[in-house]
Amino acid sequence: MIKTDVLIIGAGPTGLFCAHQLGIIGLNCEIVDNLDKVGGQCIELYPDKPIYDIPAIPECTGEELTNNLLKQIEPFKVKFHLNERVEELKKDVNRWHVKTSGKITFDVAAIIIAGGVGSFEPRKFPLKECEKFENDSLYYSIKDKTIFKDKTISIFGGGDSALDWALELSNTCKINLIHRRDGFSGAESSVQKVKELNKTGKLSLYTRYQMESLIGDNKINEVKIKHENGKIEQLKTDYVLGFFGLIMQLGPILNWGLNIDKKTIEVNTENFETNVSGIFAIGDICSYPGKLKLILSGFHEGALAARGSFKYAKPDEKLRFEFTTTSKTAQERLGIKK
Amino acid sequence: MAKITFKTHDNDSHVIDIQNGLSVMEGAVQNDIPGIDADCGGGMACATCHVYVNEEWLDKLPNKEDGEEDMLDMAFEPKKNSRLSCQLIVSDELDGLVVSIPSQQC
C-alpha cells in the first residue's frame, strides 16, 4: 500500500496546480488519472486550441499549459498513476484507503477530487445488443492487433482513430469502413488513402450508413448496416470496432456518499471540502454558488483545498501562511539555491 | 426572446422562453430541461447537448460551423436533422423552434 499525505484524482490543470500548492506547504501527494497522459481536458479535448484567460499568460495552448504546470511541479517529484481509475474509498480511523482499477492501493490523510467532468471512457454504440459482444468480438480500443490477422473487420467512425486503424489493419485483414456521412473528421491524407484502397478493392467503404443490428450467438458473424435512404446491407464480419471518441462519466465517484447535483459535487467555499470530511473537490467537478468553470477558478480552489487538507495530514502542526517570495522553507521545498 | 419547445423521447413537452443571445443549450440547462447534459459547457467538444431539429426548421437555422458535424459523428444516434444545441444561438427568428431530445446523450 502506497502511503502519502494526499491523493489527487485527476491530472488536469487543476489537479496539477493543486499538487504544487501541496508541495509548497510541505505535503506529499500522488495523482491518479484514467487517461494515459497528463493534462485532462486540456490534452484530450483541445491540445492545440489557444486559451486566452489564464492570468498573466495572454495566449497558450492546452498542451503548453500542461507542460508548464508539469515544469512548475517538478521540484516536488509528484508520482503519477495513469490509466488508473479510482474505484473504492474506505475510511480507516483517520485515514482513507483507496483502491484503483489496476489494484493499486493508497493510504492517505485526504483526497482531493479534481476530476473535471468525470473520467474519459470510450463512447459506445447505441445498440443494446453490442454489450454482449464487447471485449470479445467488439472493441472500442485495440490492445493486441495480432488477433485480427486474416479476419474480416468492420470499423465504424470517421475520425483519425477509425481511419488510422482501417489503414493499418488493411495490410493484414479485410476491412469494411462504415461512416454516417461522406465527410470525415480525420486527416485529409488518411481520407485520400482510404478512398484509394476502396477503389482498388483493398477496403470497402460504406458512407451514409450506420449500424442496424448484429448477428451472431457468442461471436459476431454478420453486421447489418442501414443507409440513410433506408437500404440495408448485410456484411460478414469477424470483429466490429467502434471509434467514436471519448465521453466523460462520473463513474464510481457516485458511490462515495458525496452530495452530487447535476454531475457536480457540492463543496463549501472556505476550503472546498465536500460533505464528507477529508474529501475535497476542485475544478469543473465542484459546485457552489457562483461557480465558474474556468481553469483560473480551479487554481484558486486547489490552493484552498491543499491548505484545507493540512489538518488531516499533520494534525499536530499549525500551518503558517507564507509567501514564496520570502519564505525560506517554501524556497527550500522548491529546490531554489541561493 | 424566443419560445422554444423541447420534446423529450418519452413525449413530454417543455416550452420555455430563451433570451436572445443565449444558446438553445444554455436555455435548456438554466431551465433544467432533462436530457441535455452539456458536459463541456458549450465548447463543441462533447456532443452531449445533441438535439433533433424539427424538419420544417432545418433550413431556417444557421449552417453548421466546421467542427459541429465532426462532433455529431460522436453523438448518440445522429440523424440528418441532428444539431448541437450549444451552436444554436437564440434570436427572434428562432421563435417557435421545436427540437427533440434523443433518448440518451451517450
- As a whole number of Å, the end-to-end CA separation of chain A is 37
Superfamily of domain A124-244, CATH level 4: FAD/NAD(P)-binding domain (3.50.50.60)
CA distance A301 to A313: 18
pLDDT of residue A143: 82
Q: Are A273 and A280 in contact (CB under 8 A)?
A: yes
pLDDT of residue B60: 92
Q: Is the pLDDT of residue A245 over 90?
A: no
Mean pLDDT of chain A: 95
Residue of A nearest to B67 (CA): A185
Closest-CA distance, A125 to chain B, in angstroms, reads: 8
Asked if B69 reaches chain A (Cβ–Cβ under 8 Å), the answer is: yes
Across the interface, do B70 and A159 touch by the CB < 8 Å criterion?
yes
Which CATH number does the domain A2-121+247-333 belong to among 3.90.550.10, 3.90.1150.200, 3.90.1150.10, 3.50.50.60?
A: 3.50.50.60
Q: What is the mean pLDDT of residues B70-86?
A: 93
Q: What is the mean pLDDT of residues A314-323?
A: 96
| Interface residue of B73, B81, B84 to substitute, partner A, most A CBs within 10 Å | B73
Domain around B16: 2-100
Domain count, chain B: 1
pLDDT digits over A35-80, tens only? 999 999 888 877 888 999 999 999 999 999 999 999 999 999 999 9
pLDDT digits over B43-66, tens only? 888 899 999 999 999 999 999 987
Q: What is the mean pLDDT of residues A119-135?
A: 91
Residues carrying CATH 3.50.50.60, chain A: 2-121+247-333, 124-244
Q: Which residues of B touch A247 (CB under 8 A)?
A: 39, 46, 48, 106
Q: How many CB atoms sit inside 10 A of residue A144's CB?
A: 7
- Please report where in the chains the cell 431556417 appears, as a residue: B60
Asked if B44 reaches chain A (Cβ–Cβ under 8 Å), the answer is: no
Our CA angle for B47, A210, A235, nearest 5°, is 150
Of the candidates A124, A183, A228, the beta carbon closest to that of B69 is on A183
Residue B54 sits in a domain whose CATH number is 3.10.20.30
Q: Which three cell numbers stand for residue A305?
A: 483545498
Q: What is the mean pLDDT of residues A15-24?
A: 98
CA distance A63 to A45: 10
Per the domain annotation, does B106 fall within a domain? no
pLDDT digits over A251-289, tens only? 899 999 999 988 899 999 999 999 999 999 999 999 999
Asked if B17 reaches chain A (Cβ–Cβ under 8 Å), the answer is: no
Asked if B40 reaches chain A (Cβ–Cβ under 8 Å), the answer is: yes
Q: Where are the alpha helices (DSSP H) in chain A?
A: 13-24, 41-44, 62-73, 130-133, 160-169, 188-199, 295-313, 328-333
Q: Is the pLDDT of residue B86 over 90?
A: yes
Of the candidates B43, B80, B104, the beta carbon closest to that of A228 is on B80
pLDDT digits over A186-232, tens only? 999 999 999 999 999 999 999 999 999 999 999 999 999 999 999 99
